[in-house]
Amino acid sequence: MTRASAVPGGTLVLDSEGLAKAVLRDRTVTGWLALARADDMRVITSAATLVEVVHPRINRPALEWTLSRLVVEPIAEPIARHAAALLADAGVHGHKHAIDAMLSATALSAPGPVSVLTSDPEDLTALCGGRVTVIKV
């Protein structure tokens, strides 16, 4: 984690692993969240990401607290269409990549500069190209 990666006024995006680790108060993710707040960055995730994160064993109070501290962006038709275009541009399709594509479209529509915390940097990089900074967590 380096401070130079967090630029004031940008957006920090959490994928499912980033959100799950935030719920668990993972040190690395907690550090990124602290940097984001200190640099006045918006912290967001996609509504589609909740589908991946919510499961019977998740600590619901911790999840709700974490969600209260970020913005959950909806998946409206323009985001869905953009996600479909990203899939086509990357040469992939189907449910395996759909949520990553929706998260990528959400990230690309956010005020920049944009950084994404993800456990899947290869797929996010393929979908977003060089238009966002992809950080492995």
The answer to whether the CB of 105 falls within 8 A of the CB of 86 is yes
Q: What is the CATH number of the domain that holds 79?
A: 3.40.50.1010
In this predicted structure, what is the pLDDT of residue 8?
Answer: 61
Domain containing residue 51: 3-136
Distances (CA, A) of 44 to 14, 66, 89, 126: 6, 11, 24, 20
- Between CA 89 and CA 133 the distance in angstroms is 19
Band the pLDDT of 9: cuts 50, 70, 90.
Answer: confident
pLDDT exceeds 70 at position 7: no
Q: Residue 104: which of 55, 59, 51, 44 has the closest Cα?
A: 44
Count of structural domains within the chain: 1
Q: Which residue has the higher pLDDT, 62 or 7?
A: 62
